[in-house]
Amino acid sequence: MAPSEEAIREGRKRLDAHVREIVAWHFNPETGCPFWLERAKTLGFDPRKHVQGFDDLKKFGLFEDEWLRGGPVRRWVPKALAHKPIYTFETGGTTGIPKTRINIEDFSTDYKLFSETLPDKYFPKGSNWLMLGPSGPRRLRLAVEHLCQYRGGICFCVDLDPRWVVKLIKKGWMEHLNAYKDHVIEQALTVLSAGHDIKCLFTTPKLLESLANALEKQGSSIKETGITGIFSGGTEFTPQFTRFAVEELLQGVYMTPTYGNTLMGLACSKPISADDGYKITYYAPQPRAVVQVVNFDNPDKLVDYGQTGRVMLTTLTKEFFMPRFQERDEGEREPPYERFPWDGVSGVRPFHGFAATTTVGVY
């Protein structure tokens, strides 16, 4: 159901107020981070005076990918938060220096907000979880573990290095790839068979299918393990996969798709439905993050609803300010939804300009 015009206006009003607060914080010499305080000297305008709403972020131009590659990482730590314990989380890293983002409490805040969207019927409070996904320097493992703990459960984690998976794919070492996949799935099967009463699962679409196939060989299924709710995400989360999962793999186990990354946090999806062709539409956690679908040749211009464009991300927290970053994804712009009265994106997939050189791996 579409939201009311008043809800859309209130959402935008809240976003503009949040932009003013975050810009004031990051460009205040007492609270801001060294990167933005130094960059302010070259902008030609005073952000605290001249950025009064979301549209004014265009004054910054585009956020450059390379700014997050390499150190010193403390240039991203706001002065007002410098006394707190700092996490670093990395993106990708399959080629060259990975992008690094500092975190203090953002990852836990993002997943507490996401928790409110999970139906207790399928993700019962107090239930134990299995985290079957990328580990290492990624925020995902820690975030899913926090989500589980926040909901009162204990999280079991499988060790998985997606960079090794991508290397195996690029080298064409399929025998090694399958052996590593089997190794990862065997860990998950061991945990699920150990009597830990696990009811909730995070995994990626590819690993979900592998897990279901491994269970089938044992004469079992995901439903028979006791799992009632699955939280999953990745670029392979297509309507085709969703239909296959719902009709063939899950046997009534609830699944919620998500779209997220280290730089943004987590975008929730509209409930998926066979009546809608299993279309998946994501909505960013505004005002903490905003996703736009923009013209491929002109990032200042939104595409029309239903049209295809590149995903542009803006992150707005006191820990991290990232205006107008062009993601490595594309998709279709979707209208506001009753629960999320702002634009969404569907059909998320690798940006066609990079798709030929993008290796998806476990995602």
More confident residue, 280 or 17: 17
Q: Are 199 and 127 in contact (CB under 8 A)?
A: yes
**Residue 303: per-residue pLDDT:** 97
Q: Is the pLDDT of residue 355 over 80?
A: no
Q: What value does the mean pLDDT take over residues 203-221?
A: 92
Mean pLDDT to the nearest integer, 295-309: 96
CA distance 133 to 236: 14
Q: Where does the pLDDT of residue 44 fall: very low under 50, low under 70, confident under 90, or very high at 90 and above?
A: very high
Domains of the chain: 5-355 (3.40.50.12780)
Who wins on pLDDT, 170 or 60? 60
Residue in the block written with tokens 């009546």: 275
The string of pLDDT tens digits covering residues 136-190 is 777 788 889 999 999 999 999 998 888 888 888 889 999 999 899 999 999 999 9
Q: Would you state the pLDDT for residue 235?
A: 63
Q: For residue 35, give every residue at least 6 positions away whose Cβ sits within 8 Å of its Cβ, in sequence order, or none.
A: 67, 75, 76
Distance (Å, whole) CA 183 – CA 219? 19
Give the distance, in angstroms, between the CA of residue 199 and the centroid of all CA atoms in the same chain: 22
pTM, rounded to two decimals: 0.89
CA 22/CA 41 separation, integer angstroms:
18
Q: Check whether 359 has a pLDDT greater than 80.
A: no
Whether the bond between 29 and the residue before it is cis, its omega within 30 degrees of 0, is no
Q: For residue 126, name the pLDDT band (cuts at 50, 70, 90).
A: very high
Which segments of 50-99 are extended strands (E)?
87-90
What percentage of the chain reaches a pLDDT higher than 70?
95
List, in sequence order, every residue forming a beta bridge with 344; answer none if it has no partner: 334
What's the rounded Cα separation, in Å, for the pair 251 and 75? 49
- Average pLDDT over the chain reads 90
pLDDT higher than 50, residue 34: yes
